[in-house]
A and B are shown apart, each in its own frame.
Chain A
Amino acid sequence: MLLLLMFMGCNKDDENPDPAPDPELKVYYISNEGAFGYGNASVSLFYPEEQKIQNDAFKQANNRRPGDVLQSIMVKDNKAYLVVNASDKIEIAASKTLKELGVLNNIRLPRYMITTARANTAYITAWGDGGYVAVMDLVKDKITDTIRVGKGPEKMFWNGGQLLLVANSGGFKDDSTLSVIDLTTNKVQKHLVLADNPVDICADLQSIWVLCRGKVKYDGNYNIIGHTPSYLYHLSGDAKVMDSIELFADKHPMHLEVSSDQKYLYIGGGYGFSGLYRFDINFGILETNPFINKDFYGVNVDPASGLIYGFEAPTFTASGKMSIYSPDGTLKNELTTGVGPNGITFSY
């Protein structure tokens, strides 16, 4: 018994085997949600030139975790903004070292963050309080305004001019609108009514694309009684609906990316969706078979290299996985991430 207790006393923590971040290397940022309620979100740094990953980098830099459910990361002016959903906050850290610089609290269930041409300003989607976009002053690190939009505002897209598009995904319920914000006034200019639950937005050289995931319909006993289809909406640069294409009658993708050569849209990923599909922009055709047959929780395309980054988070009690594919769909590398990886932020 004594020996066993002594053994127990010698059982030291063996965490943090990874080295500290190297500030000289080009680096991308992977957001690992962690398990809801456990506060074990993490940031993995990926060094694309060396094809190496450093997990738990924020904790190594600061001896603490970023919070509960890291939804996304934005990098701007040598700062990394960590959007921590269940902690209702934005953590601000030095982008090269991830050393903590500050925090912005009391944003209700924040999701994504974006900047526009407007100097020192960022926009943050937040699911709380019925759904709003918070306007953040990046110098004072303060919220200066809030703009009420639809339910569950998710991804945003800046059209390069005076418009900011917000996909109202429904959040915990349903919505079917896209809010168009006039950046000169920070007011909603109009709500476009699309199909059920718009979740993601991207653009090719000429136009904007919006993915509406549709929804599963349940009866009172949570038996599936039907679906509304997922749709792809085609918008002009000034946010006018030009066309819509039905994608899947009974499947509900969460992510929309454009290939670096602007020829294809990648559609797929998200909770409960299997496969990543390719949509030919020129011919307006969705390929029948999955381009990559994996269950991705998140997916991103590096606009510079065209590489496709898929993230698997099969369970939120163990590490996830990042797979890297060349534009033709060939698997190039697989790496272990933190718990619940949902996306990568590219920085140059």
Chain B
Amino acid sequence: MTSIFVLTEMALGTINPPIAFSLAPYSGNPLPDQYVAHQLLPSSALAHADNKEIARGYVVQVTIWSRTGLAVLPDVDAAMNAAGFKKGDVKQLPQDEKTGHFGLATEYSYLEVSFS
């Protein structure tokens, strides 16, 4: 089964024009003016059958970091929605005083159902 990390990166990889992305923390140096960091948040099993997990609700935080503000951003929503993620809470983050990036954190949920 494809991992949630692969699913997330496959989705982010479809954004056009391409944007730099990685699992948080973004380790590139120097940091791009605009990039995306993604991270899996605690995600619970939702259902079990015969002592086996059959459904899990993943929650992924995707944060766009941009030195030029948040008005013009890559269309992460479309990419994630197309990959089966559902958009959740959105939060503007304080400007990073060390790097100058503004941040926009968005949660996306993904329901993984497995029958075997």
Instruction: Say whether A associates with B.
Output: no
